[in-house]
Amino acid sequence: MKKHILFLLSFLFILPGYSSAIATEKLFSYDKNRITENFNIGWEFRKENNPDTLDWQTISIPHTWNNIDMQTLRNDFYAGTAYYRKTYTPNLSLKGKRIFLRFEGVASTAEVFINKSFAGNHQGGYSAFAIDISSLLEFGKENEILIKVDNTSRPDVIPVNHRLFGVYGGIYRPVELIITEKINIAVTDYASPGIYISQNNVSEESAEIQIKAKIDNKTGKQENILINYSIHNKENNLVLNHKIPIQLLPQGRREIIQDFKINKPHLWQGLEDPYLYKVTVRLIKDNHIIDEVIQPLGLRHFELKASDGMYLNGKKVPMYGVCRHQDWWQLGSALNNEQHDIDLSIIKEIGATTIRLAHYQQSEYFYSKCDSIGFMIWAEIPFVNRATTQEGPNARQQLVELIRQNYNHPSIYVWGLHNEVYKPHEYTIALTSDLNDLAKTEDPNRYTVQVSGYNKIDHPVNNNADIQGINQYFGWYNGTLDSLQTWVERAEQNFSDFKVIFSEYGTEANINQQREEVSNRGDCCGFEKDYNESFSTRFHEEHWNIISKHPFLIASYIWNTFDFATPMSSQGMVESRNMKGLVTFDRKVKKDPFYWYKANWSKEPVLYITQRRVVNRGNKITPITVYSNIGTPQLFVNNKEIINFGMGYTDVHYIFPDIQLQEGENIIEVKVEKDKQLYNDRIIWNYSEEYKNLDNSAPEIRLKEHIGL
């Protein structure tokens, strides 16, 4: 505590009469409080390089110009310059205020002009930025706001290409107009909330909290104000209230740091109990609240133990992980909260406990919802795929933005530094070491992670963070399905002290490509290849069987929850798409592997027959596989009960062997009664010997658009 008192004294003067006693909250006037306005309506848009032409299109934000071409036209999408413009007439009463534009996401570079005067710029398509436009506005008059946006790949802005995923051009996340007094909590500290809440020594007995507030004074004179910290619990009862009188110097930004302690806190316990407090920081002058920022507080302690797993507040919790790309079919990245909610509901349904938000900073709404739902989050920057040796400054900038903008989200447990960036080795080692130091300086209380596509844990490119992530696709890109078992056994013998996460694994699954029988090696890679769903089902069954038995892998993440766009490649007879998702691009079809994980992970009842889309069968004798987490299923084939079954990899995996199908239609049904409720699943297979040589992935089938089926 002593060092924080010294820090305060070095930056401000403590006014006479200061009392550290926590007082009853006092009511103040709100007539000069911060104003935050939605600024998403009334924009105009056009492509190309002449912003003065007349053919402008009226649009609303969020908006992208690549929602179609990046998803359907391999290497033929528009990556270039476009313009957005809007008029704004500030009321004369706002003269003397500070007025900011805050953009949550513009891809991938932006230049902002007010009345044709340059106001500011930003490089990076996934982090927010804020610009003070006060001095450029004419009050009481109409002002033109023009944004020049460009999503051309650049060697100095990460990601440096569109190869692993497309950077959808546009102002694709919300825009806000923020109005404050000349004394305000910082808006332009990398577009952060200006408030940073740290926590230490968190237990059921007590939690130590430090709140840092960054304060701007643009009045040009010394100012006496109060800074008021208050904490309310979930029930909106006041837990803590603290006021400090301070004297601000006439210029510059000040950091005010204060320590608190909460006794007998209600802890944030992930999905089990995502309990949130509310922290409010107010600036008060002459008994008026002149600024206020509210932030979430989830009191928790993360501890990852090598060869063991995650302990949340001392309690071991499973790390059932999925990855998420943010784009949707025909929407691109220009999503509203409804789409984010749908994604979150699907991820919650499958039973996941943790999400890797790959490979870039994602929506502020999404992080906030993860706080309140209780997911444990891996957040990362888009340093992916390759290094150019020119991206260092921008990678550092985007890491600072990621951390400062999301510092207060209790759901985030780790910051990601890079994904599969290799040569030049010495450059990548140096940059990632620097990024790790930067992350630890910005936030010493969270883990850092690097990700390698090598299956060598001691590779020097990947040994510069707290955690090592390994991306491997055994049986798809290399090896066979059983190669994972060999690899993990060798790794746990040689690297038991390392914190190792299986950060990506998966395989393509086109639901219009089906096979009755599959091998232990996938048909990768190319447009004409067979990406059948049946192989994906077997892949995930075998992989989870191995992962679940090896705590050396302290967490694992399926690649991916949803199919997503890959605008520079086309595979499996579908243009511009990665189909490793457990759910189709439009979120309408949950593939067989989705139910495999749901049965193994979720507490929701699951009773599911696999290979339901392999409708036309050429094998008269065939197994039937059922996933059930509610007990032993009764199987009926054409109304005849089948008794004999065997257990598969886990206790939800039921295999009924040597089922004989009849010519023509076969009705397959399973039933389970649990807690006086009857559950059932039913599918139809058609058997004919003529189907024996049927190519279920023939071009006329494969080219059929699967969206919505």
- Quote the Cα angle for 446-448-449, to 5°: 145
- Evaluate whether 34 touches 292 at the Cβ level (below 8 Å): yes
CA distances from 152 to 35, 158, 566 (A): 35, 11, 16
- Evaluate whether 626 touches 610 at the Cβ level (below 8 Å): yes
- The maximal CA–CA distance of the chain, rounded, in angstroms, is 94
Q: Which structure tokens are listed for 261?
A: 């302690």
Amino acid sitting at position 600? N
> What is the C-alpha end-to-end distance of the chain, expressed in Å?
62
Q: What one-character DSSP code corresponds to residue 444?
A: T
For the chain, what is the radius of gyration of the CA atoms?
28
- Evaluate whether 415 touches 440 at the Cβ level (below 8 Å): no
- Cα 627 off chain centre by: 29
Give the burial class of 203: count Cβ atoms within 10 A of its Cβ; 0-12 exposed, 13-18 middle, 19 or more buried: middle
The structure tokens 């080795």 sit at 425
Is the peptide bond preceding residue 265 cis, with omega within 30 degrees of 0? no
Q: What one-character DSSP code corresponds to residue 47?
A: E
What φ, ψ does residue 259 adopt, rounded to 5°?
-105, 145
- Evaluate whether 299 touches 314 at the Cβ level (below 8 Å): no
User: Which residues are within 8 A (CB) of 114 and not within 5 positions of it... i.e. 6 or more apart?
Assistant: 133, 136, 137, 143, 144, 145, 146
How far apart CA 128 and CA 368 sit, in angstroms, is 15
- Evaluate whether 149 touches 372 at the Cβ level (below 8 Å): no
How far apart CA 593 and CA 608 sit, in angstroms, is 11
What φ, ψ does residue 132 adopt, rounded to 5°?
-80, 115
- Cα 648 off chain centre by: 33
663 among known catalytic residues: no
- Evaluate whether 137 touches 33 at the Cβ level (below 8 Å): no
How far apart CA 424 and CA 428 sit, in angstroms, is 6
- Cα 456 off chain centre by: 27
How far apart CA 596 and CA 151 sit, in angstroms, is 38
Q: Which of 653, 655, 628 lies closest to 642 in space, CA to CA?
A: 655
How far apart CA 519 and CA 522 sit, in angstroms, is 7
Catalytic entry in 391, 420, 504, 542 = 420
DSSP 151-180: ----TTSSS-SSSSS----EE-S-EEEEEE
Pairing of strands 253-263, 268-269: unpaired
CA distances from 643 to 653, 674, 677 (A): 15, 19, 21
How far apart CA 488 and CA 632 sit, in angstroms, is 32
Specify which residues 102 forms β-bridges with: 130, 176
Give the burial class of 605: count Cβ atoms within 10 A of its Cβ; 0-12 exposed, 13-18 middle, 19 or more buried: middle
Is the alpha carbon torsion for 588, 367, 444, 446 positive or negative? negative
* Active centre residues (catalytic): 420
